[in-house]
Amino acid sequence: MKLLFIVLIIVTNICVAQSELEYNLDSVVVSTNRVPLNFSEFGRTINLLSQRDIELLPSTNVYDLLDQISGVDIKQRGPEGVQADVSIRGGNFEQTLILIDGVKLIDPQTGHHNMNLPVALSQIERVEILKGQGTKSYGANAFSGAINLITKKSGNDKIGFELSGGENNFYTLGLNSSLNIGNTFHNFSFSKSKSDGYRLNTGFENYLLSVDNSFKFSNIVLNTIYGFSDKDFGANSFYSIRFPNQAEKTKTHFASVTSDINFNSFIVKPKIRWRTNSDEFVLNKFNPSFYKNNHETTVYGGELEISTNLIGGTTSFGTDYDFDKIQSSNLGNHKRTKLSFFIEQNSNLTNNFKIGIGGFLYKYTNTNWNFWPGIDIAYNLIDKIKIFANYGKAFRIPSYTELYYSDPANLGNENLLPEESSNYELGINYFSKSLLLHFSYFRKEGKNLIDYVYDNSDSIWKAQNFTKINTNGLEVSIDFLMGNFLGFLEKTKIDYTYLKSDKIDLGELSKYTLDFLNHDLTISILHKLPFEVEQSWSLNYEDRIILDNHFTIDTKITKKINNILFFVNVSNVLNKSYQEIPGIPLPGRWIIGGIKFNIL
């Protein structure tokens, strides 16, 4: 805790710093909305990770990168994205929507596979994180928040390589390229990562391939993406501590075609998406026939959005269709269709007062139509100070695992109802060239929440709808651009989230719903070293309801020489023993070093 105290002392003296860098939020357009808005206009809490953050923060993958954001809970069963569950503001791993360039990635089998991301970190330009419900804009499953990965759509011609290695016989080999041909841009990436593991049966071998293309014409922009992820890993105690020799293989294909078409005063945005995921799980890899599950899901769909300027702002409306199916040795064969209509209006009532209002009309197989509204308000109180408030209803449909899964210890429930919630938030932001301050209070009133409840009569965890659970929270963020304060400090960010949830009318023992971070504090520091070397630190304190609290430090050192980037990443510097999921200890100190270079 002494290190935390030292950091806070440094921060309190920031007012005397002379910043050479500046925040310019009016130039940052956020697309995590039906209608893209400037960051400073949003009536919501949005976190952004820029290209520079991706390069410099202590991480070598998307999962560790997201873990830098307070309020975003990344629970990993293994390192380097072997399997990670992501939740926002106390939700569970089923309640966060993942998108690539605004295209939804939903795994209907289980949220455990939502982070089987078919895109490499090197292909991501920035990350937008919407905290709180996103149903008004995206419909089902944006229950607690949404994470939108924005891929690169422009850049210089290059052929790049990445070579890295580290402890536990870890290595990564990567190739990426970008090419401009006329008004088109093409991006390619391939990587392989492998490790023997940090303890018994935690080795892995992962492959990742992605191809992005962008075509720009006079009034049309067309984007295509194809991605493939292949993971083969030891799953020591992943789902039961009684079986240390579990193993799993997953393969994910994803493709989308999106376009922006200008027709006079209208912008038409068609989207087509397709995703398959196969999952092979064995309880004992030395005796696969003892217990084996094979699942394969397919999702495809399309969306049509039309925007135009009306009522002092922008009106957006359209329709969305999805079909998904599963073929499974355990869950059986099932399919369902989903159809929705949406509308959203963003208006400037005055120069300082902005409002966004809209909703989703939604229906899926064997259910009635339901409407899910939302409203966002932002008001510039004085120059550089914005107050905002929002309200919205959210829902999530059950996964196939929750509906149909069965084993000796767990049982699904095909009569499950959709989860529902009402969400409220009130906040204030301060913006200047060198300082961002954010404070918000939020409340989620959930009902029919789905979790596994322990039945003492037959010793089985059974999927059920809870009566009601309320979650209250506070978020505080202080972000400084410090220039050359004290001759070396560039940037410091303090990010804190407090959560408290209350069960109502629930006496049983639940498995996931109240497994959240009561306190989540992250302090990020970027500073310079001699010879133009840069170093970043991430100090993270987590106090989880069902586990002991822990404090970890990660750091990354980078040095760029022309087109060559050298880096050393050290996770868990203090070599702490801790868990994010009961029964699954995470790695101690892990050092990875590498080089990235371009030949063009």
Cβ-based burial of 231 (10 A; exposed 0-12, middle 13-18, buried ≥19): buried
pLDDT for 280-338, tens place per residue?
999 999 999 888 999 999 999 999 999 999 878 899 999 999 999 999 999 999 999 99
Least confident of 9-13, 63-67, 241-245, 589-593: 9-13
Quick one: what percent of the chain has pLDDT higher than 70?
Answer: 91
Least confident of 32-46, 101-115, 264-278, 331-345: 32-46
pLDDT for 192-213, tens place per residue?
999 999 999 999 999 999 999 9
CA 293, CA 308: separation in Å to the nearest integer? 49
Residue 15 has pLDDT above 50, yes or no: no
Least confident of 17-21, 163-167, 445-449, 450-454: 17-21
Q: What is the mean pLDDT of residues 51-61?
A: 91
pLDDT for 520-537, tens place per residue?
999 999 999 999 999 999
CA 113, CA 544: separation in Å to the nearest integer? 23
The domain containing residue 549 runs over which residues? 2-598
CATH number at residue 91: 2.40.170.20
Distances (CA, A) of 208 to 66, 173, 190: 19, 11, 6
CA 440, CA 483: separation in Å to the nearest integer? 27
CA 335, CA 236: separation in Å to the nearest integer? 32
Contacts of 588 (CB under 8 A, 6+ apart): 198, 572, 575, 576, 577
**The pLDDT of residue 5:** 37
CA 141, CA 161: separation in Å to the nearest integer? 37
Q: Between residues 519 and 33, which one has the greater pLDDT? A: 519
Quick one: what percent of the chain has pLDDT higher than 90?
Answer: 66
Task: Give me 165's structure tokens.
Answer: 């290695």
Residue 452 has pLDDT above 60, yes or no: yes
**The pLDDT of residue 456:** 76
**The pLDDT of residue 504:** 57
CA 234, CA 82: separation in Å to the nearest integer? 9
CA 406, CA 394: separation in Å to the nearest integer? 28
**The pLDDT of residue 457:** 76
Q: Using only C-alpha atoms, what is the Rg of the chain?
A: 23
Task: Give me 565's structure tokens.
Answer: 């980037």
CA 186, CA 122: separation in Å to the nearest integer? 14
**The pLDDT of residue 237:** 87
**The pLDDT of residue 36:** 67
Residue 2 has pLDDT above 60, yes or no: no
Residue 214 has pLDDT above 80, yes or no: yes
Side chain identity, residue 352: N
Residue 18 has pLDDT above 70, yes or no: no
**The pLDDT of residue 37:** 67
How many CA atoms within 13 Å lie on the side-chain side of 59?
Answer: 22
CA 216, CA 208: separation in Å to the nearest integer? 27
Strands 353-364 and 517-529, sheet pairing: unpaired
Q: Between residues 23 and 386, which one has the greater pLDDT? A: 386
Q: What is the mean pLDDT of residues 373-384?
A: 92
Side chain identity, residue 291: Y
Q: What is the mean pLDDT of residues 33-41?
A: 67
Residue 17 has pLDDT above 70, yes or no: no
Residue 467 has pLDDT above 90, yes or no: no
Q: Is the separation of the CB atoms in 142 and 135 below 8 Å?
A: yes
Strands 145-151 and 584-585, sheet pairing: unpaired
Q: What is the mean pLDDT of residues 381-410?
A: 92
Residue 13 has pLDDT above 50, yes or no: no
pTM attached to this predicted model? 0.92
In total, how many domains does the chain have? 1
CA 344, CA 160: separation in Å to the nearest integer? 41
Least confident of 18-32, 189-203, 358-372: 18-32
Task: Give me 460's structure tokens.
Answer: 């089985």
Strands 45-49 and 37-38, sheet pairing: unpaired
**The pLDDT of residue 503:** 67
**The pLDDT of residue 8:** 39
Pick the closest to residue 438 from 423, 422, 426 (CA basis).
426
Pick the closest to residue 331 from 412, 409, 264 (CA basis).
412
Q: Is the separation of the CB atoms in 296 and 108 below 8 Å?
A: no
